[in-house]
Structure 1
């Protein structure tokens, strides 16, 4: 980096940080300011400026590591990429304007300094976009995996009896997860009866009904009985209108009634004990 610019940045780090935070707070999305506390905004802003200044010396090997850590942090905080890119642009403007105010920029060196700062900032900007994108994709991927694991849990409630509560929309990808969890869980928990509760599924169309019947059939093929719970009147009407055959599946309108049947199938029952 140009020695004049390098010296100005090093000597005026606190001034640059204060100016940068004031400018970025004015241009920040209102939702960002509400989510991030003043203390966190100040701390993260300081890390951002420190990270940029670390790269004032282009040979500094710490930059990539700091950049990766910073990208992961701002993704978790919800900072938009546009905000981070704008921050780098504002940084260069603050440096130029600060040097102008101190009389360090002259007609002879003005073009050279601006070009130099632009050439210095461009690769940093590209690296920020690259790291930020990779971090975001990795975060989204991890969240997707976590949601998949939570979207179709198989819960053992009693010996030989397991329940799979389904909530939300069922698409093809989720249906595959349901099938996989069912078959794996039936074997793992040595289930004799599996209750699939669709009380929380808002819409049961042809595709959803087909997936549910497939899941029930798969359970039966591995040696367990399947009870379909949460059959609301509108769902019953839909299944009838679609002409779906549920002869091999026990159906109940509530999970409570389903569990009562499951107990009977495993030679147990609920008995009231007198005090």
Structure 2
């Protein structure tokens, strides 16, 4: 059997031992998944992922580089997704990669001692080079995937925050209320326009009540954004009713030359909903 194959089978036969050495070396920091005190299910998953890593990275000894680097992608994606999901800092993961690299190399040294007569210095230098390259490639690929999943997570969280801060609230199957609350800057106004159009389309809204009661101050630029929204809703065939406009908002609307001829305006939300036999929930 070729030396590389012998080393490969030696490491695979000692995979459980390697994993145990690594798990037992974890510290007692309970705030990290890399802790000897982690939940038994977490430890079980770490062991399983580590064994798969051993099986995968060890193939560097028996496969050509092109084949090897083609097949490790699945492990990297799975583990990167898990670490992002568990909010594990990337620095902790890289630390564990490098710690395990030490244990892995110690296993190679153990192999060299047991089969010393058949191992040359050239063999050891070659194995050192290929295994370090393999670990480095895994780490780089992991960083790339970790960043990708982190970006996706942040985008998802931002979308959730946006939906919560700009809620189109259905009150019947086709009727909804959009309560505007607090200060509205240019960024929020843009989100308001885009998210409202999306939610109304997704929820199949035909009549939207926009309530300005929670907006005390509105500058001309922001007012322009909001009335662009009203015009866009009209183009989508969505009827719009405005309520709760303060004198300041009404004044700016007039200065902007906003045409309200096709828009129903009521002093408050209760009176806006009354013709439809609807009443806002009482506090």
- Identify whether the pair has TM-score above 0.5, normalized to the shorter chain: yes
Q: TM-score, normalised by structure 2?
A: 0.66
CA gap of 1:63–1:217, structure 2 versus 1, over 3 A, is closer
Query: Which residue is equivalent to 1:154?
Result: 168
**Cα offset, 1:96, TM superposition:** 2.3
Do the aligned partners of 2:169 and 2:178 also contact (CA within 8 Å) in 1?
Answer: yes
Query: Which residue is equivalent to 1:54?
Result: 56
Find the aligned partners of 1:3 and 1:216 in 2 and give their Cα distance.
Answer: 72
CA gap of 1:62–1:183, structure 2 versus 1, over 3 A, is closer
Q: TM-score, normalised by structure 1?
A: 0.67
**Cα offset, 1:14, TM superposition:** 0.8
Query: Which residue is equivalent to 1:18?
Result: 20
Tell me, yes or no, if structure 1 residue 190 matches structure 2 residue 206: yes
Do the aligned partners of 1:220 and 1:226 also contact (CA within 8 Å) in 2?
Answer: no
* Residue among 114, 124, 146 paired with 2:138: 124
Question: Structure 1: which 5+ runs fail to align?
Answer: 253-257, 271-275
How many residues get paired?
249
Per-residue CA shift, 1:72-125, capped at 9, x if unaligned?
A: 222212222222222221122002234445635979465554334212222222
**Cα offset, 1:137, TM superposition:** 2.3
Query: Which residue is equivalent to 1:9?
Result: 11
Do the aligned partners of 2:181 and 2:214 also contact (CA within 8 Å) in 1?
Answer: yes
CA gap of 1:259–1:160, structure 2 versus 1, over 3 A, is farther
**Cα offset, 1:226, TM superposition:** 1.1
Find the aligned partners of 1:7 and 1:91 in 2 and give their Cα distance.
Answer: 19
Say which SS state the counterpart of residue 176 (structure 2) adopts.
strand
Query: Which residue is equivalent to 1:263?
Result: 273
Find the aligned partners of 2:222 and 2:241 in 1 and give their Cα distance.
Answer: 17
Aligned alpha-carbon RMSD (Å)? 4.3
Find the aligned partners of 2:6 and 2:94 in 1 and give their Cα distance.
Answer: 24
